[in-house]
Amino acid sequence: MDRRRSEAAGRRRAGVAVLGLAVVAGACSSPVEPVDEGGSEGAIAYDFTLPRADLPVYRWPSGSTVRLLVAGGGDAERARLLADALAGAIAEWESALGEGVVRFAVTDRVEAADVVVRWSDAPAPVDLRVCEPAVRGSAATTFCPAPDGRGLLRFPAVGGAGGESAVRMVVTVLASEARGERRVRQLIAHELGHVLGIGRHSPDPSDLMWEGALTRVGPSPADLATVQRLYETEPDLVP
């Protein structure tokens, strides 16, 4: 079997399809409106299930710490932009999530990371060929079910880490988005919503998990109600 066919077969074994959760193309060219942080009473959760009948609900065990590694590439300025956006997005979610849901931590060791956050053109510390990111919009969160059906596929490490990695999700931000702190922070915050387990998009344009042009940098009351509901629901898939 030639290499290409072998890789295709490997992908089929890894899962039926890559679960790319992308911000739609409209988001990348639309002007970003001022944030309206006005409180909305009685926020209602929206549907958080993946559009897959076999694996509708994925989430981390309650109380988990999810470790993220920033792969910013060789450009120090772009690496800083990504790292700062991640720190801001983590603060937004953590200040809003209650105790016992999920915490985030940043690591620089691929062996310890659960999630890699990267620019689309930067070398990744894990082998992406096993579950290739498909970014149709400005950013995407990519993961694949493990071949044995238990949890998510672990991306093999590349370089000096000996092939072992705990990375199960890859957040990819298009390199062309590296032009503004607020924009990158919005995209990362949105993708962290997918990392937490929100498997589709909000129908309300004022929510962070809307799929079009984002107007906010942090989760809305409805986004929070959705995550709270998610973490009260038994998962079908635990990363």
| Residues near Zn ion, by CB under 5 A | 21, 23
Nearer to Zn ion, 142 or 165 (CB): 142
Tell me how far apart the alpha carbons of residues 161 and 200 are, in angstroms, rounded to a whole number: 33
Nearer to Zn ion, 120 or 165 (CB): 120
Give min distance, CB of 51 to Zn ion, in A.
12
Nearer to Zn ion, 23 or 189 (CB): 23
Give min distance, CB of 203 to Zn ion, in A.
13
Please say whether the beta carbons of 118 and 124 come within 8 A.
Answer: yes
First to last CA, the chain: 31
Give min distance, CB of 33 to Zn ion, in A.
18
CA distances (Å), 54 to each of 16, 130, 151, in order? 11, 21, 13
Nearer to Zn ion, 21 or 55 (CB): 21
Strand 169-173 vs strand 139-142: parallel, antiparallel, or unpaired? antiparallel
Structure tokens at 168: 């199960």
Nearer to Zn ion, 21 or 45 (CB): 21
Give the residue at shortest CB distance from Zn ion. Answer: 21
Give min distance, CB of 21 to Zn ion, in A.
5
Give min distance, CB of 67 to Zn ion, in A.
21
The closest of 137, 106, 151 to 15, measured between CA atoms, is 151
Q: How many CB atoms lie under 10 A from the CB of residue 181?
A: 13
